[in-house]
Amino acid sequence: MPLDDLGRVERRITVIGAGLAGALFATLLARRGWEVEVFEKRGDPRLRGYEGGRSINLALAERGRHALRLAGADEAVMTQAVMMRGRMVHFSDGRTSLQRYGRDDSEVIWSVHRGELNIVLLDIAERAGVRFHFNRGLESVDFDARIARYLDERDGSRHQAAFEALVGADGAGSTLRQAMAAETALGERSEFLDHSYKELEIPPAADGGFRIEPNALHIWPRGRYMCIALPNDERTFTVTLFLPNNDLPNNDLPNDDLPDGDGHRDGGPSFASVRSGADARALFERDFPDALPLMPALEEDFQNNPTGVLGTLYLDCWQLDDRAVLLGDAAHAMVPFHGQGMNCAFEDCVALAEHLDATADRAAAFAAFEAERLPNSRAIQAMALENYLEMRDRVDDDDYLLQRALEQK
């Protein structure tokens, strides 16, 4: 292990990915006096606007806020967060009902904009002394020589940099994970759902305010499919429509007689049958009639926005001796039905920073981190999946469906 001029173990680390987990983890270590460099595939979002193609806003829970507090980021993040006191259920007949998360406003969750959150975390990390290298996508790693190679997608130029150890915060499609898998068996497997999602928007009202109750997570449960909407501080809502990928045959339809469902006896909507903006309008007219007038650009949004896939990533091993370790979605991507992927990634950051800081034996720190966090992430992945399965399969029990569907976030 390299020593500095005074004979102390050098506390230096390289993080791959400046997303939510990468920026937070880098801050936590820099605040403990570590020298931290971060390499990010995309450009600096503070210069060019946020380019992330994934969910626009996220539910931030106490688990995540605890990590933000330790990084000194909570106050800045909370200035842009919108409180969600509970779930506002929109029934098919137009009735709505607010179900509080807790007794009072001390037990709430928060809606945060992914891009704004990322920018706040980058600023705080930089102030803590973290050095960022944007437009540097990890391409390959020579673990023996401890050299990482990066691609600048703007001009195709290639760069390399030495490292002591790599931390993979490069998301579900992690390149570092691929490189580690070439060195050691990670036991990787991915399971994709037969449902996908599409993001849509409710813009501000004509007077500039919110069009519907801002301090709630809105949900339109409809059996095998549903919509949710989370508020943004610029008075918009991000709506997420979850639909099956394919129609089910008639005799396999569990929700034909669902009292608050759509009542029709065809295969039910899916991304195979709802393909155009006009199809989306027809779906909303029939199943989400109170949401339709809130979304003047529904057709354009549906056609222009990508359809996102949903899956769970399992690994049996998150580390390569003292040279590399994975955290966040790179280690344990999960379906979003519990709203805990980012919160869980933030908990990883705290745990890894603590283990690294507690010992000069980096391999032992990585192993202790994995031993602590892998079972936790498995439990959260299972809960997220359970919610999805229960929502999908037990839809003949209306009360049960509502209870479970609404417990998702």
Q: Does 177 bind ligand FAD (CB under 6 A)?
A: no
C-alpha to C-alpha distance for 92 and 226, rounded to whole angstroms = 11
3-state secondary structure of 163: coil
42 binds ligand FAD (CB under 6 A): yes
In whole angstroms, the minimum distance from the beta carbon of 265 to ligand FAD comes to 30
Q: Answer for the pair 12, 35: CB distance below 8 angstroms, yes or no.
A: yes
329 near ligand FAD, judged by CB under 6 A: yes
Residue with tokens 């790693």: 141
Ramachandran category for residue 284: left, alpha or beta (phi over 0 → left; psi -120 to 50 → alpha):
alpha
H and E: helices and strands count for the chain: 12, 19
Neighbours of 310 (CB within 10 A): 21
Our finding on whether 55 is near ligand FAD (CB under 6 A) is yes
Least distance CB 151 / ligand FAD (angstroms): 8
- Beta strands of 222-337 (E only): which ranges? 226-231, 237-244, 307-314, 319-320, 324-326
Look-up of token digits 């000194």: 72
State the Cα angle at 197 between 337 and 96, rounded to 5°: 65
Residue in 13, 14, 15, 19 binding ligand FAD, rule: CB under 6 A:
19
Q: Which residues pair with 109 in a beta bridge?
A: 84
* DSSP-assigned beta bridge partners for residue 36: 13
Least separation in angstroms between residue 256's CB and ligand FAD is: 28
Helix, strand, or coil (residue 109): strand
Options 98-106, 164-172, 264-272, 382-390: segment touching ligand FAD (CB under 6 A): 164-172
Place of tokens 């892998």: 374
Instruction: Choose between 168 and 269: whose C-beta lies nearer to ligand FAD.
Output: 168
CB 199, min distance to ligand FAD, A: 7
Distances (CA, A) of 121 to 54, 68, 125, 236: 17, 9, 6, 22
**Is 345 one of the binding residues for ligand FAD (CB under 6 A)?**
yes
289 binds ligand FAD (CB under 6 A): no
- Closest contact distance (angstroms) between CB of 281 and ligand FAD is 22
Residue 347 binds ligand FAD (CB under 6 A): no
- From the list 15, 30, 31, 39, which residue makes contact with ligand FAD (rule: CB under 6 A)? 39
- Which residue, 277 or 308, has its beta carbon nearer to ligand FAD? 308
Q: Smaller CB distance to ligand FAD: residue 232 or 240?
A: 240
Contact characters 297-316, ligand FAD, x per CB under 6 A: -----------x--------
Restricting to residues 190-219, name those near ligand FAD by CB under 6 A: 197
Q: Under the criterion CB under 6 A, does residue 45 sit at the interface with ligand FAD?
A: no
Contacts 24+ apart (CB under 8 A), 62-67: 63/340, 63/343, 63/344, 63/346, 63/347, 64/342, 64/343, 64/346, 64/347, 65/110, 66/346, 66/347, 66/350, 67/24, 67/28, 67/346, 67/347, 67/349, 67/350
Nearer to ligand FAD, 51 or 397 (CB): 51
Q: Is 175 a residue that touches ligand FAD (CB under 6 A)?
A: yes
- 168 forms part of the interface with ligand FAD (CB under 6 A): no
The answer to whether residue 339 forms part of the interface with ligand FAD (CB under 6 A) is yes
62-70 helix and 341-358 helix, angle to the nearest 10 degrees: 40
Rounded to whole angstroms, the Cα distance separating 314 from 186 reads 9
- The residue range among 12-20, 141-149, 268-276, 366-374 that interacts with ligand FAD, by the rule CB under 6 A, is 12-20
Binding of ligand FAD at residue 25 (CB under 6 A)? no
Q: What does the per-residue mask of binding to ligand FAD show for 370-409, with x meaning CB under 6 A?
A: ---------------------------------------x
As measured in angstroms, the least distance from the Cβ of 346 to ligand FAD is: 8
The residue whose two tokens read 């966090």 is 373
Q: Which is nearer to ligand FAD, 151 or 253 (CB)?
A: 151
- From the list 6-14, 95-103, 323-331, 355-363, the region that binds ligand FAD by CB under 6 A is 323-331
Which positions touch ligand FAD (CB under 6 A)? 16-22, 39-42, 54-55, 58-59, 137-138, 169-171, 175, 197, 240, 308, 328-330, 336, 339-343, 345, 409
